[in-house]
Every structure is written in structure tokens, then in C-alpha cells.
Amino acid sequence: MQFNDKRSMEHIRQQLVFLSVSLSIREHTMTLAAETLIIIEELDAIESKRFTFQEEATGALALLHASVTDLQLVVASLASHASMLDRLNPTLGLRTKLFPDGSSYIIRKSGTGIASVLDDLNRIVNILDVHRNLVGTQDLKGRLENSIDTVKARLDEYIMLNERVDIVLKDIDMFRKRTGDYFYEMEKSLKKIYGENKKIINSHFL
């Protein structure tokens, strides 16, 4: 009998079901089948949790990407507005103050990558506050602040949900190891019952 803990959980479940049925149909091993059923229930529970957590994390990532896109549209509008004000007053230099490295380094960020420019975005908000008397800047500042708040909230939500996924994946790794140990212990139990009759022992394993 060989157990490969790198196989999919679906395949491991098939192995467990096969073992459970094989044990249950023979008088000498009927009592061993119950423990296998418990392990199958544990597998189903942990897989259900993984599926739920991964779906929630994927949904949170979609919301994060959408909010980042909305934020980038505000940044693009702000960059264009700052350029217009600079043309009206060449000594203002607002765009350079707001985006000393250009606005593209913010606009190119996606998903969780936006976290690396949140400090820059807060700096931009502070500069806009200093220039609150300039036409149109306060409306853009308000939109930018709202977008930043939304991105932060969704980023935190995604990170939290993704951490739950990581935890359940570690639980799955531990389950795989325990299941592998269980198979080898079962093989020992069957050897005690059937001696060296490899044919009947191996017939319990898929």
C-alpha cells in the first residue's frame, strides 16, 4: 500500500471511501470501518471550509480591484486638473508637487500592490488641503479621500480573508499527514488480521 499525500483531496477522499467500503463488507474488519467514516467527515468539513473561505477571499479581491480602479480614475482626473491649473498659472507647479515622480506609478498599481502607495496618496491629500482655495481641488480631494478609505477597508478585508485561507490550507496539510499515518496504521492492523496475505490486504486500498 502506498499513500501519496500530494494527491488532490478528491483523490484522498476516494481512497478513504474505497477503504471504508472494503472494511465494512468483511466480518473481520467491520468494526474498523467506523473510524474511516469519521475521517471522511473530517475531510468533507475541512474542504467545505476551504471552499467557503476561498470564495469569500476571491470576492473580496474582486471588490478591491474595483475600488483600486475607481481610485486610479480619481488620480488621473486630479493629475489632469493639476495640469490645467498649472497652465493657467505657470508658477503654481501643482502637478509636480502632487506627483513628483509622475502619476503613472500610482495608476499602474493593481490589487494588493496599491498598499505600497497609500502613504503617497495621503501626502497628496495633505497638499490639496494646503491648496484648498484652488478651483476644483476640494471636490477632487473629497473624492480621493473617499476612494482611499474604500481601498483601505477592502484591502484589510481581503488580507483578513486570505489569512483565513492560509490557515485552512495549513490544516489541510496536517490532515493529509494524519491520513497518511492512518493508512499505514490500518495496513498494520490488517496484517495482524490476515497475516502475510498481501492479496486480501491490498484489496482494501485503491
Domain ranges of the chain: 9-202
* The pLDDT value given to residue 71: 96
Q: Please check whether residue 19 is in contact with residue 205, taking contact to mean a CB–CB distance below 8 angstroms.
A: yes
Only one residue has cell 502637478, namely: 95
* The pLDDT value given to residue 106: 86
* The pLDDT value given to residue 1: 64
SS3 category, 130: helix
3-state secondary structure labels for all residues of 115-157:
HHHHHHHHHHHHHHHHCCCCCCHHHHHHHHHHHHHHHHHHHHH
* The pLDDT value given to residue 111: 80
User: What is the mean pLDDT, run by run of 10 residues, along the chain of 206 residues?
Assistant: 79 95 93 94 97 98 96 96 95 94 86 89 95 92 97 97 97 95 94 90 90
User: What pTM was computed for the model?
Assistant: 0.83
For 3, 14, 21, 29, 133, the CA distances from 206, given in Å and listed in that order, are 10, 8, 11, 17, 76
